[in-house]
């Protein structure tokens, strides 16, 4: 089964099928290309005492932290994102943090679940990359099978309680005409990072060398390209690491929670 | 009266009042700031034998040549742009070309009007500059009271009959965040040049020195700004000059035809 999954053609197109496959333990890797018409999300699970502050942090920083789902304390379901969705089993691999430090990477979190845990699902750039590709925009990292380049900026997020920190951005190099089209396309999707937060002059946002990303692969910019920066879902992870809650559970980057929302339904117009 | 007009506060806010003032001969200068909520247009009047080709040229090059009004042969009225509008009298100052060469700059064209003349009105960037300013974007040339910088690019327009030539663009220097917002705002206005055609790398479109514009004032770019380029209504004038029709009448740049359309009504969404 795992071998079949390395062939993109064998990836399930349906979100419910994708979730069942992940729940069964048969798929523990990244979710790029799975159910591509459906929204995938970043996961962050926190104790209830941190929930209001984290919700406020997301609300105040909608570009890097677009909240698309929030559960009730102790309830592993998120029916607005998928009727059968169980947040304890439906992510390929989790990361468990205690006091801000990673301690485990299980494929389910049944053993960690508690009655005071609140789940947050944040929009992810997978949802706008698909429309970009459909609009004829070439994404270099996708073509190369690499991870998008990510950077810590000098832009302060708006703090909420213990949550604060610099904004993390993802960058996609584009020809100027692609950059204009990409701004139009992503502006339609405010719940998955929306329009870029910066374009063209990396040093203005504290990035001195685009070829040395904080995470992801070097973009290998060409002279005829300009850098286009979007708010990145890694931003809340940085904020959570700095807040050092006694327990925090996230997805392992790249392997997202697959929802039943369709990317097209997130279009604002 | 002329002295009063130098005070922007004294400029008429209403399009009908503005047109009457121009028609009376009391205002022969530029129309920037007159009836700012209303659409102003570029004018091009040609003999009927050139009309179909010029209409096709506009249709094929909608970014530099967005056609917002077209009259019938010999009819000086354009009721869709203003019920009382008379294209022979309602422009502050005209330019008359014979065989492509300028021969006169009258304040009306009653003496030139013929039964075979067809009027074309093209959208103008005034209509998107107002929304840009309303969205908090500072336009350097407006603040300085200068003309926007214009350049001949290496981009070929799509030819139609005798009309062809390179695209002319206007450029506004902006901070990166302003540039992103400006792409969003102008994308809503496809009938007045719409989204930019280029951003960031002037040499890619044949502009070797942005401080040496083909027309308008040098933009005096700052290091923290990027250049944003829009299709420009001067493009059809260049095409007409090259086509050398026996007679062509345009507005004198800066003094446009003021219509009763509201800028907001041109928004596509």
Q: Distance of CA B23 to CAs B14, B109, B232, B269, Å?
A: 14, 11, 26, 34
**Model's pTM, two decimal places?**
0.86
**By CB neighbour count within 10 A (0-12 exposed, 13-18 middle, 19+ buried), where does A68 fall?**
buried
User: Which of chain A's residues have a Cβ under 8 Å away from the Cβ of B197?
Assistant: 177, 180
**By CB neighbour count within 10 A (0-12 exposed, 13-18 middle, 19+ buried), where does B212 fall?**
exposed
Based on DSSP, count helices (H) and strands (E) in chain A, helices before strands: 7, 11
Helical ranges in A61-171 per DSSP H? 126-134, 140-144
Q: Is the pLDDT of residue A107 over 60?
A: yes
Of A197, A200, A269, the CB nearest to B226: A200
Q: Give the pLDDT confidence of B238-264 residue by residue, as tens digits.
A: 999 889 999 999 999 889 999 999 998
Sheet holding B166-174, edge to edge: B149-156, B166-174, B226-231, B198-199
User: Which of chain B's residues have a Cβ under 8 Å away from the Cβ of A198?
Assistant: 176-177, 180
Residue whose C-alpha is closest to residue B182's, from B192, B174, B190: B174
User: Which of chain A's residues have a Cβ under 8 Å away from the Cβ of B195?
Assistant: 180, 184
Q: How far is A73 from chain B (nearest CA, A)?
A: 38
pLDDT at B32: 84
Residue pointed to by tokens 């053609």 = A9
pLDDT at B266: 87
**By CB neighbour count within 10 A (0-12 exposed, 13-18 middle, 19+ buried), where does B86 fall?**
middle
* Token couple for B76: 């000086």
ipTM of the modeled complex: 0.80
Domain range summary for chain A, segments of one domain joined by +: 126-235
Please tell me the distance from the alpha carbon of residue B148 to that of residue B127, in angstroms, as a whole number. Answer: 14
pLDDT at A75: 96
Please tell me the distance from the alpha carbon of residue A111 to that of residue B131, in angstroms, as a whole number. Answer: 56
Q: Looking at residues A190-195, what average pLDDT do you find?
A: 92
Please tell me the distance from the alpha carbon of residue A135 to that of residue B125, in angstroms, as a whole number. Answer: 26
| A1: confidence class by pLDDT, cuts 50, 70, 90 | very low
Whole-number percent of chain B with pLDDT over 90? 84
CA nearest to A223 within chain B: B201
pLDDT at B147: 87
Q: Give the pLDDT confidence of A68-93 residue by residue, as tens digits.
A: 999 999 999 999 999 999 999 999 99
Helical ranges in B188-252 per DSSP H? 234-243
Instruction: Determine contact, residues B190/B64, Cβ cutoff 8 Å.
Output: no
**Cβ atoms < 10 Å from Cβ of B243:** 22
Is B179 in Cβ contact with A199 (below 8 Å)? yes
Q: Give the pLDDT confidence of B201-251 residue by residue, as tens digits.
A: 999 999 999 999 999 999 999 999 999 999 999 899 899 988 999 999 999
CA angle A27, A29, A35 (to 5 degrees): 70
CA nearest to A202 within chain B: B176
User: Which of chain A's residues have a Cβ under 8 Å away from the Cβ of B177?
Assistant: 197-198
Instruction: Determine contact, residues A47/A120, Cβ cutoff 8 Å.
Output: no
CA nearest to B268 within chain A: A269
pLDDT at A179: 97
Whole-number percent of chain B with pLDDT over 70? 96
Q: Distance of CA B12 to CAs A29, B37, B266, Å?
A: 66, 11, 21
Residue whose C-alpha is closest to residue B170's, from B144, B190, B151: B151
CA angle A59, A65, A66 (to 5 degrees): 75
User: Which of chain B's residues have a Cβ under 8 Å away from the Cβ of A201?
Assistant: 176, 224, 226
| A61: confidence class by pLDDT, cuts 50, 70, 90 | very high
Q: Give the pLDDT confidence of A112-144 residue by residue, as tens digits.
A: 999 999 999 999 998 899 899 999 999 999 899
pLDDT at B207: 98
Q: Is the pLDDT of residue B193 over 70?
A: yes
Residues of A with CB under 8 A from a CB of B: 176-177, 179-180, 183-184, 187, 195-201, 204, 224, 226, 269
DSSP symbol at B158: P
pLDDT at B21: 96
Q: Give the pLDDT confidence of B147-159 residue by residue, as tens digits.
A: 899 999 999 999 9
CA angle A153, A154, A157 (to 5 degrees): 90
Q: Give the pLDDT confidence of B92-129 residue by residue, as tens digits.
A: 999 999 999 999 999 999 999 999 999 999 999 888 99
Residue whose C-alpha is closest to residue A75's, from A60, A65, A85, A61: A85
Residue whose C-alpha is closest to residue B97's, from B58, B55, B44: B44
pLDDT at A126: 86
CA nearest to B202 within chain A: A176
Crossing angle for the helix pair B234-243 and B48-60, nearest 10 degrees? 140
Q: Is the pLDDT of residue A231 over 60?
A: yes
* Token couple for A68: 């698309």
pLDDT at A268: 85
Of B180, B196, B204, the CB nearest to A224: B204
Whole-number percent of chain A with pLDDT over 70? 96
- b or e along A123-137 (b: 16 or more beta carbons within 10 Å of the residue's beta carbon)? bbbbbbbbbbeeeeb
Q: How far is B228 from chain A (nearest CA, A)?
A: 10
B186, B200, B231, best to mutate vs chain A, most A CBs in 10 Å: B200
* Token couple for B256: 């446009």
| A269: confidence class by pLDDT, cuts 50, 70, 90 | confident
User: Which of chain B's residues have a Cβ under 8 Å away from the Cβ of A180?
Assistant: 183, 195-199
* Token couple for A55: 């919700």
Is B196 in Cβ contact with A199 (below 8 Å)? no
pLDDT at A7: 47
Is B197 in Cβ contact with A179 (below 8 Å)? no
Q: Is the pLDDT of residue B7 over 60?
A: no
Q: Is the pLDDT of residue A230 over 60?
A: yes
CA dihedral A93, A98, A102, A104 (to 10 degrees): -40
Q: Is the pLDDT of residue B78 over 80?
A: yes
Q: How far is A13 from chain B (nearest CA, A)?
A: 32
CA nearest to B203 within chain A: A224
* Token couple for B233: 């209504």
Sheet holding A198-199, edge to edge: A149-156, A166-174, A226-231, A198-199
Instruction: Determine contact, residues A168/A234, Cβ cutoff 8 Å.
Output: yes
**Chain A / chain B CB contacts < 8 angstroms:** 54
Q: Is the pLDDT of residue B2 over 70?
A: no
Q: Which CATH class is domain A126-235?
A: alpha beta
- In whole angstroms, what separates CA B201 from the centre of its chain? 24
| End-to-end CA separation in angstroms for chain B | 40
């Amino acid at each position: 089964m795992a071998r079949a999954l390395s062939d993109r053609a064998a990836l399930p197109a349906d979100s419910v099928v994708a979730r069942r496959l992940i729940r069964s333990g048969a798929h523990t890797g990244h979710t790029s290309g799975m159910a591509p018409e459906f929204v995938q999300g970043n996961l962050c699970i926190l104790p209830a005492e941190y929930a209001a502050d984290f919700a406020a942090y997301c609300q105040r920083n909608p570009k890097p932290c677009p909240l698309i789902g929030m559960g009730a304390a102790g309830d592993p379901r998120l029916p607005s994102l998928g009727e059968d969705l169980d947040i304890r089993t439906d992510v390929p691999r989790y990361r468990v943090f205690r006091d801000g430090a990673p301690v485990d990477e299980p494929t389910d979190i049944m053993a960690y679940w508690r009655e005071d845990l609140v789940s947050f699902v944040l929009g992810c750039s997978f949802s706008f990359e698909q429309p970009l590709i459909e609009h004829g925009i070439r994404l270099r990292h996708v073509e190369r099978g690499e991870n998008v380049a990510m950077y810590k900026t000098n832009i302060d997020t708006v703090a909420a309680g213990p949550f604060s920190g610099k904004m993390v951005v993802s960058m996609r190099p584009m020809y100027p005409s692609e950059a204009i089209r990409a701004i139009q396309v992503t502006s339609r999707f405010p719940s998955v990072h929306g329009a870029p937060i910066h374009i063209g002059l990396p040093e203005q946002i504290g990035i001195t060398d685009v070829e040395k990303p904080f995470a992801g692969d070097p973009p290998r910019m060409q002279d005829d390209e300009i850098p286009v920066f979007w708010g990145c879902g890694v931003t809340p992870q940085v904020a959570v690491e700095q807040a050092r809650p006694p327990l925090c559970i996230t997805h392992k980057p790249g392997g997202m929670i697959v929802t039943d929302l369709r990317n097209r339904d997130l279009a604002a117009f």
